[in-house]
Structure 1
Amino acid sequence: MSSDQPPGLDLDQLRGHLDRERPGLVGGPLTARLIEGGRSNLTYSVTDGTTRWVVRRPPLGHVLATAHDMKREHRVISALHPTDVPVPTPVLLCEDDSVIGAPFYVMEFVDGTPYRTADELAPLGAERTRAAVNGLVDTLVDLHSVDPAAVGLGDFGRPDGFLDRQLRRWGKQLDASRNRDLAGIDELHAALGRKLPVSPAATVVHGDYRLDNVLIGPDDKIKAILDWEMSTLGDPLTDLGLLVMYSTRLELPNSPISTTAGAPGHPAAAELVERYAARSGRDVSAVDWYTAFAWFKLAVILEGIHYRYTLGQTVGAGFDRIGELVPVFIEHGLTTLQERKEG
């Protein structure tokens, strides 16, 4: 892929806009590369040879405005930047489609590593891995400690009825992707609806909080939380449930979907829950529901990917195996809810 002109980013247009809006920011010709690994919005590393920035824009082609809202992402990192929550420094937001063909925002480049698999964590060793994952919990507590109104995010979402709306939303998403019988998926959805917990006070919720959505520095501390596209005001325990799910061994060799749980020194999911409870003071007795909901949500997402694959709309390594993973996620969700019932 050409670093001179990556798809979706006109560097001449970008340079002109930056020169107009932030005179003196850019000191030379721009080059860029697309950062691989994002699930939806496109992320580019841009440099003038001296300074590096990151540009975020929606995917190429038609997208729903609410699904890839650059203004929301820029707003939340701008609001959180003065707090203890580590986020990149925002540079500017551009809502004018005529510049590069879509809204975008620019932020500082943060040097760090997103660890996506147990194999990537393993070279750190047990002690450093444990410190990094515990830091993930501590940073989540810091995020959930921010008073949304105090940082200008009091109207960032609709926390009332949050869980019910989330469950209905993902149920509709499932219906939109139905193309085969999936044993247990409707049972899981219905069971979640019957056992809906009472939410604690609303906080800023990241929506996709896991180890590969943060950057870890050489000191094993979190330098920045990334990918805020699903953030809102809502139930903080949805973030915890997702973190627990991603801290559970999947035992699926060569799977295109993996967790970091198998790395030596990685704390058990129960330890992460205990640490979160101790540091946040929140009641986590319903964490199994939130974890089961995370399994359900990922099952729906994977089924959507599988459905698009069967239509020939998704290509690439690993997509042909996504479909066989969906029943595994459904079973984990049902088992987790059953354990809650028995507990």
Structure 2
Amino acid sequence: MSPDHPPGLDLDQLRGLLDRERPGLVRGPLTGRLIEGGRSNLTYAVSDGASRWVVRRPPLGHVLATAHDMGREHRVISALHPTEVPVPRPVLLCEDEDVLGAPFYLMEFVEGTPYRTARQLAPLGEERTRGAVLSLVDTLVELHTVDPAEVGLADFGRPEGFLDRQLRRWGKQLAASRNRELAGVDELHAALGRALPASLAPTVVHGDYRLDNVLLGPDDRITAVLDWEMSTLGDPLTDLGLLVMYSTPLGMPDSPVSTTAEAPGHPSAAELVERYAERSGRDVRAVSWYTAFAWFKLAVILEGIHYRYTLGQTVGPGFDRIGDLVPVFVDHGLTTLQEG
């Protein structure tokens, strides 16, 4: 298959659908390319030579529809587009699997750069890096300011018992990939359960909010928040805790999993929490619990990757070192909870 016709994207079928559903939108032959960097769902850039769009669809051979719910992603960006939260303009949702072999949606192409590592951020310089990361907090505050009922998302999740369900869910994930002794992980899981905080009033939560899930424009402002597949209604501090975790230096420069915290000018985790508290007006005194939970959640995800690696189910560089990272994340989680 040629680069202009990547696997999972039948451009003739797509063109036919768009001509039927959005006549006049496409003005020339379509070309498409896979956008690298997605961790789950597949993302393609599509163009007719004059305009550009993005197609999101589940991975090839996907099995669990609930894990790759295109209707859910399309719904949340459709709801948020009229708000101050920067999301791409949705164009069309297609749930007919005969078109591309799976449900998908089309949205506008937004200009911007994703920054995934401290090394990529470094050329911006200290001042611009600081501004970019602080804008990440400000955009999170905007998201958590949105009234779900006002944008048609009142039934987008089940906020009651949200933290307890999250903790049980990731505990089950850990059990499903357990094939070695992992010091401290059960202690961390149990300690999180004992210290479960009372949730704040529910908001729309992104579920995977960090710098490499947004696009930055030339002025270092966020042009779009992407990858809404984990979004729901729940406790807003879960988003903040994850952002704090990703803003904590790992002290492992060659790690296959990186944070941006080592970039010169990157604000400290404490600064991010203070800015969020000041701008949102929320009580963030329990943020250590949410950050420790983020360390636990990532430890479980990494252990799952390591487990699949031991079974020969992963391909590519870096997977052989993922297993060594898991105890580091567990230790960070225990330390964060104890210090909190």
More moved, 145-154 vs 6-15: 6-15
Instruction: Report the Cα distance in structure 1 between the residues aligned to 2:318 and 2:2, rounded to whole angstroms.
Output: 25
| 1:75-154 correspondence runs (5 A) | 75-154=75-154
Match for 2:172: what amino acid?
K
Q: Within the alignment, does 1:295 sit opposite 2:299 as a pair?
A: no
Unmatched 5+ stretches in structure 1: none
SS at match of 1:98: helix
Structure 2: which amino acid aligns with 1:330? V
* Cα distance, 1:282 vs structure 2: 0.3
User: Are 1:325 and 2:329 counterparts?
Assistant: no
CA offsets per residue over residues 211-257 of structure 1, 9 Å max, x none?
00000000010000000000000000000000000000001121110
Aligned to 1:46: 46
SS at match of 1:67: helix
Q: 2:27 — aligned with what?
A: 27
Deviation at residue 63 of structure 1 after TM alignment = 2.3
Alignment of 1:265 onto 2:265: yes
- Indicate the residue corresponding to 1:155 in structure 2: 155
Cα distance in 1, alignment partners of residues 109 and 212 from structure 2: 16
Matched residues in 2 for 1:243 and 1:62: separation?
29
2:68 alignment partner, SS class: coil
By how many angstroms is 1:320 displaced?
1.1
Instruction: Tell me the TM-score normalised to structure 1 length.
Output: 0.98
Q: Distance in 2 between matches of 1:6 and 1:95?
A: 20
Provide the C-alpha distance between the structure 1 equivalents of 2:25 and 2:309, rounded to a whole number of angstroms.
Answer: 43
2:217 maps to a residue whose letter is G
Show structure 1 runs of 4+ deviating over 2 A.
1-4
Between the aligned partners of 2:37 and 2:182, the Cα distance in structure 1 is: 28
Following superposition of structure 1 onto structure 2, how do residues 209-224 of structure 1 map, counting pairs within 5 Å? 209-224=209-224
Residues 268-287 of structure 1 mapped to structure 2, 5 A cutoff: 268-287=268-287
Name the counterpart of 1:188.
188
- Displacement of 1:5 after TM fit? 1.3
Q: Is the 8 A contact 1:163 1:235 kept in 2?
A: yes
Amino acid at match of 1:101: G
SS of residue matched to 1:99: helix
Q: Distance in 2 between matches of 1:333 and 1:103?
A: 37
Which residue in the other structure is 1:310 paired with?
Answer: 310
Offset, 1:104: 0.1
Q: Which residue of 2 aligns with 1:67?
A: 67
Residues 170-249 of structure 1 correspond to what in structure 2 (within 5 A)? Answer: 170-249=170-249
Please list the CA deviations of residues 66-118 of structure 1 after superposition, one character each: whole Å capped at 9, or x if unmatched: 10000000000000000000000000000000001000000000110111011
Report SS of the residue matched to 1:324.
Answer: helix
Counterpart amino acid of residue 183 in structure 1: A
In 2, are the aligned partners of 1:249 and 1:262 still within 8 Å (CA)?
yes
In 2, distance between residues paired with 1:77 and 1:338?
38
Partner AA of 2:64 in structure 1: L
RMSD: 0.7
SS of aligned partner of 1:45:
strand
SS of the counterpart of 1:66? helix
Q: CA–CA distance in 2 between the matches of 1:253 and 1:2?
A: 37
Secondary structure in structure 2 of the residue aligned to 1:179: coil
SS in 1 for 2:66: coil
- C-alpha contact (below 8 Å) 1:170/1:297 kept by paired residues: yes
How many pairs are equivalent? 340
Deviation at 1:186, TM superposition (A): 0.5
2:92 & 2:195 partners in 1: Cα distance? 43
String of CA shifts for 1:2-33, please: whole Å, max 9, x gaps.
32210111111111111110001111111111
**Distance in 1, Cα, partners of 2:331 & 2:27:** 55
1:44 Cα deviation after fit = 0.3
Contact 1:2 1:33 in 2 (8 A): no
